[in-house]
A and B are shown apart, each in its own frame.
Chain A
Amino acid sequence: MKPAPFLYYRASSLEDAVGLLNGPAANGKVLAGGQSLVPLLNLRLARPEALIDLNAIPNLSYIRLEAGEIVIGALTRHREIEFSTLLAEKLPILVEAVRQIGHPAIRNRGTLGGSVAHADPAAELPCVLTALDATIVAVGSGGERTIPANDFFVGHFATVLGDGEILKEVRIPLAESLAGWSFLEFARRHGDFALAEASVVLYAGHPGHRSARVVTGGTVERPLRLSTVEKFAVEEMPLPIDQDSFAQTLKRAEELAKMEIRSSDAARSDSEYDCHLSGVLVGRALKQAIERGSNP
């Protein structure tokens, strides 16, 4: 038997799961899709006393449009996001990011909530949700609280989620002024963990972009917003694109990204390769986002 023994609880509702996590299964781990946790159990890198399985909870898997926000339940499988017609229309960047998670078999089981709570620095969802200014809704014994994605991820596999809290859903605001987006990652082989990721969301203004959110992942401990690149995109990259200077402007954005990543406390190493890779990806994502916005 590969995993070490544990007590198994099959939660019947989110309230039941929170009760277990704050009661008999206080030292337990929450099991959603299991695509990261079960390998850790098999390798005995994780040896929790108890598992609280969320999979039998009804109504925790949904993708809804509610008052200008896309709301996605924690138990929603990556595959449901990948094939959602609502998301294909409203949030194609999320579909694009999720398509790059592992392989079909992983996406059939893996869940949005699991990936977000696990907070692997190489995961796609933390990076793209930070770029989209999403909000994480967590439930604990004291009730619900909402946390901006930008504050949620605090380090290597670390979030602000409390010991007794469970992720309930993610809310993503839809901006009418969305004027270009991109999610890119670099992995050694298709489906491998990304070495670096870049996610760019641009909002329309006049004459260029009103604001930009530029986030990198993979080579940093947590999704990292690159404020110098965001500022540069708004101030130094007016629309329409000047084709003659575009490549050079992008090069400057790339250099800014590298500088900011290098000096960040979230940098995982001082490897020149990591920095270069992230910078190049940020440049490419910025280019794709601007071009998408220019040719809708």
Chain B
Amino acid sequence: MTAPGLVKVALEVNGASYEREIEARKTLADFLREDLGFTGVNLGCEHGVCGACSVLMNGAVVRSCIMLGVQAEGCAVTTIEGLAQGENLHPVQQAFLAHHALQCGFCTPGMILAAVDLLARCPQPTETQIREAMSGNLCMCTGYVNIVRAVSAAAEALRSGRKP
């Protein structure tokens, strides 16, 4: 039980441990951006419609703008910053680059994390499954054709170990 004021949160982000005291009303998105510096968490609609702020929580894609920071207590969060290994892009990132699946890039972190969630449980998705899995992420510039191609290529790359 916690009185007004600050609540202690301990969590892991991209493999590193953090402990902070935050206001209970702070969303996970604002906590990640403002307190921990993960500005790859992009904020679009801020009420759970656009998907730009998607992160992985214990491996499952969630919208960080409609979760409270204090609810990440004890959780392992992955943001877009946590996917690449040094200079080596994650296969999904590589595929987005190779297939021109982004233009302004604002929706891209959420798109990529939604794709990572899909491919973790469905390594060989059909186009319909890809479209369904990505349907919660809105893109206002490219249209979705290259995004679907990129996710498909990433699936293939993850299965074969070759570059997308």
Contact present for A6 and B48 (CB under 8 Å): no
Contact present for A102 and B136 (CB under 8 Å): yes
A51 at the interface (CB under 8 A from B): yes
Contact present for B62 and A38 (CB under 8 Å): no
Contact present for A8 and B24 (CB under 8 Å): yes
Q: Which residues of A contact B118 (CB under 8 A)?
A: 104
| Chain B, 46-69, CB within 8 A of any chain A CB | 46-48, 51, 54, 57, 60-63, 65-68
| Chain B, 112-129, CB within 8 A of any chain A CB | 114, 117-118, 121
Contact present for B63 and A8 (CB under 8 Å): no
Q: A7-B3, A7-B4, A34-B66 are in contact. Are A42 and B46 (CB under 8 A)?
A: yes
Minimum Cβ distance to chain B for residue A133 (Å): 30
Minimum Cβ distance to chain B for residue A55 (Å): 6
Tally of chain B residues near chain A (CB < 8 A): 38
Minimum Cβ distance to chain B for residue A222 (Å): 24
Q: Which residues of A contact B24 (CB under 8 A)?
A: 6-8, 51
Contact present for B67 and A38 (CB under 8 Å): yes
Stretch at the interface among B13-21, B25-33, B85-93, B156-164: B25-33
Q: A5-B25, A42-B46, A102-B136 are in contact. Are A34 and B73 (CB under 8 A)?
A: no
Minimum Cβ distance to chain B for residue A114 (Å): 12
B-contact 0/1 string along A212-243, CB 8 Å cutoff: 00000000000000000000000000000000
B102 at the interface (CB under 8 A from A): no
A22 at the interface (CB under 8 A from B): no
Tally of chain A residues near chain B (CB < 8 A): 35
Contact present for B25 and A38 (CB under 8 Å): no
A64 to B100, CA, bound (A): 46
A283 to B118, CA, bound (A): 34
With beta carbons under 8 angstroms apart, the residue of A7, A39, A105, A190 that contacts B132 is A190
A232 to B16, CA, bound (A): 62
Contact present for B63 and A105 (CB under 8 Å): yes
A4 to B70, CA, bound (A): 15
Chain B residue at minimum C-beta to C-beta distance from A20: B1
With beta carbons under 8 angstroms apart, the residue of A38, A55, A79 that contacts B27 is A38
A160 at the interface (CB under 8 A from B): no
Q: A55-B71, A108-B60, A190-B135 are in contact. Are A103 and B25 (CB under 8 A)?
A: no
A273 to B59, CA, bound (A): 42
A165 to B147, CA, bound (A): 46
Contact present for B23 and A38 (CB under 8 Å): no
Contact present for B46 and A106 (CB under 8 Å): no
Counting from the closest, the 9 A-B pairs by CB-CB distance are: A103-B136, A8-B24, A39-B47, A38-B66, A108-B60, A3-B25, A190-B135, A105-B61, A39-B48
> Could you give 11 example pairs across A and B, Cβ below 8 Å?
A2-B30, A7-B4, A31-B68, A35-B48, A42-B46, A53-B68, A53-B71, A102-B136, A105-B54, A105-B61, A191-B136
